[in-house]
Amino acid sequence: MTPTDLSLALYDLVLALAERRRAAGAEVELVLAPGDVALERPKLREHGDWASNIAMRIAKPFGQNPRELAGELAEAIAAVDGVASAEVAGPGFINIRLEAAAAGALAKTIVEAGAEYGRSDSLAGSVINLEFVSANPTGPLHIGHTRWAALGDSISRVLRAAGADVANEYYINDAGNQMEIFGASVLAAAKGEPTPEGGYPGSYIADLAARVLEREPKLAELDRDVALHTATEIAYELQLAEIRASLERFNVHFDVWTSERRLHARGDDGLNDIDTALARLRAQGHVYDADDAVWVKTTDFGDDKDRVFVRGNGVPTYFAADAALYLDKGDRGFKHKIYLLGADHHGYVHRLKALAGAAGDDPERDIEVLIGQLVSVNGAKLSKRAGNIIELDDLQAWLGTDALRYTLGRYPADSPLTIDPEILQRRTNDNPVFYVQYAHARTSAVARNAAASGVDRSSFAPELLTHETESALLGALQEFPRIVAQSAELREPHRVARYVEELAGLYHRWYDNCRVLPLGDEPVGELQRTRLWLNDATGQVIRNGLGLIGVSAPERM
């Protein structure tokens, strides 16, 4: 019996009890959905497998003491197939214990579901655009981008696991002054000139310049403006390709790469996306002209000040490009937009929400702005190429993708984080990623050894899974779908990481107490075969959980 099965059974009992009350002449105004009947794991195992506070939630419409109502529901749920007992605790909690066979049946359910176990349709129908990283293509990705990449990708994975339709979007900031400075820096390096004032430092600029010269050997002979344009375009193409490759190596995939230049590009009618966005916002009644500039009245929607859309010199602001992109996302069918921004972008929260309101959307429903905090690495050296940053590529080479992804994934976005490389490089239990991956490798080793010993899954007797470590392990396995759904709803994939750590600990304790392989000449029996199902189910859930945070599940370590 799964938690969902038990929750629905309790829901049906509540509705039946309400109907009996009404038939007896009582007024019971009960508004209850299946999802309102929540189950929780008791902190102490001796209190049962599941607990519910539903009696306290519905006591008022029933006009009854919560504890008395809990007693009636406990008696009813105890009679449901698969339930061993139900007791009332405290002011009206119902503690439920499942029969061993009903609890153990989950192992087979998980193995047969495979990679689908944990997935749900809790967010089915949600069409979400998730924008993250969006670094300027003027240099390599650094440690801050690394955290946003890991976090954004993991959020996307749990959202998809909950049934949402998600597109990961990278907004390429390839217009404006920073691109001119970037191109000038590369051109100067290609011509052997000093870096221009305010230019980009680091040997990566010299590397780009050398590659630009391979493409255009006569760069120095070109007219200055032509040379600058050529150097900018080739270096931009090369740097963006490096960014894409770095992210793919980090197990981060983007479905959409949107160029800011596209928003500025004019069509046959002489208009661009920014002009169109301005006209649409003006039609909504939130645009005005003042001081030779064009403004959007974002203060109508909680912003601290109105925002300039077009400056007095006729040049659109960055806000104008943001507005054009926001509207473009809606035109592409994305009703809900999530932005993951760095710690220095707090000012964008009200600005983007106000933009949503000015566009006619609901700022509280149609847009989310998540702010990630800073991350540092003890003992990390600045990049030799970039000079003033710690590069993603260097971190991967030093610590490995799995260690980075797992560590960045196990903390909330809004908590500052310091990574300890010494711990991450240990092959000991105090290294969380090793601890979890080793648990998965151990499940694989047990399966291999079982096959060699003649233990297979040809039979299944869940009623035999009675050891206390088996009960605890099965209870945790039942929790996985709820953890995934909750992680998606709250945009908190770190809950999955913490869950698989707990599951790994329960598995290791089960492994120490319950054998899958027969001892000596002991014949293979149903207990060994059934425990193999439980072993393989645990491996599957660990594998599914690690996959949601972009971490591999090795079969050997």
- The domain segmentation of the chain, as residue ranges, is 3-98, 103-123+426-548, 127-173+253-371, 177-249
pLDDT for residue 201: 86
Give yes or no for residue 383 having a pLDDT over 80.
no
The helix or strand, by DSSP H or E, that contains position 257, with its residue range, turns out to be: strand 256-259
Percent of the chain with pLDDT over 90: 84
pLDDT, residue 384, reads 57
Number of helices and strands in the chain (H, E): 19, 13
Distance CA 180, CA 175 (A): 8
**Angstrom distance (rounded) from CA 234 to CA 162:** 41
* Residue 84 phi, psi (nearest 5): -85, -40
pLDDT score for 390: 86
d(CA 435, CA 446): 16
> Average pLDDT, stretch 47-72?
93
- ∠ CA 405-395-167, nearest 5°, is 45
The whole-number pLDDT of residue 452 equals 95
Amino acid at 505: G
Stretch 178-191: mean pLDDT, rounded? 96
Residue 46's pLDDT band, with cuts at 50, 70 and 90, is: confident
Give how far Cα 138 sits from Cα of 72, 195, 228, 389, 513, Å: 67, 14, 15, 13, 56
Count of beta carbons in the 10 Å neighbourhood of residue 241: 11
Q: Is the pLDDT of residue 547 over 80?
A: yes
Does domain 103-123+426-548 fall under CATH 1.10.730.10? My reply is yes
Taking all residues of the chain, what is their mean pLDDT, rounded to a whole number? 94
**pLDDT recorded at residue 537:** 98
For residue range 250-272, list pLDDT tens digits in order. Answer: 999 999 999 999 999 999 999 99
Q: Using CA atoms in the order 287, 289, 295, 299, what is the torsion angle rounded to 10 degrees?
A: -70
**3-98 and 127-173+253-371: identical CATH topology:** no
Question: What percent of the chain has a predicted confidence (pLDDT) above 70?
Answer: 99
pLDDT at 173 over 70: yes
pLDDT over 90 (residue 496): yes
Task: Band the pLDDT of 540: cuts 50, 70, 90.
Answer: very high
Q: What is the pLDDT of residue 327?
A: 97
Mean pLDDT across 225-239: 98
Cα–Cα distance, 231 to 184 (Å, whole number): 8
Question: pTM higher than 0.85, yes or no?
Answer: yes
Which residue has tokens 């969006």? 134
The model's confidence at residue 125, banded by pLDDT at 50, 70 and 90, is very high
Query: In the prediction, which pLDDT does 344 show?
Result: 78
- Contact 525/132 with Cβ under 8 angstroms? no
Give the per-residue pLDDT at 514: 97
Is the Cβ–Cβ distance between 448 and 76 less than 8 Å? no
pLDDT tens digits, 128-171: 999 999 999 999 999 889 999 999 999 999 999 999 999 999 99
- Please state the rounded mean pLDDT for residues 172-199: 95
Average pLDDT over every residue of 275-302: 94
H helix intervals, 197-347: 203-215, 224-249, 260-264, 273-283, 318-331
Q: Which residues make Cβ contacts (< 8 Å) with residue 65, sequence separation at least 6?
A: 59
pLDDT at 298 over 70: yes
In the CATH scheme, what architecture does the domain 127-173+253-371 have?
Answer: 3-Layer(aba) Sandwich (3.40)
Q: Kindly tell me if the per-residue pLDDT of 542 is higher than 60.
A: yes
Report the pLDDT value the prediction gives residue 226, as an integer from 0 to 100: 97
Residue range 3-98 in CATH 3.30.1360.70: yes
Residue 386 pLDDT grade (very low, low, confident, very high; cuts 50, 70, 90): low
What is the token pair recorded at 9?
């059974």
Q: Check whether 1 has a pLDDT greater than 80.
A: no
Provide the pairing of β-strand 375-377 with 417-419. Answer: parallel
Residues near 425 by Cβ (< 8 Å), separated by ≥ 6?
399, 403, 431
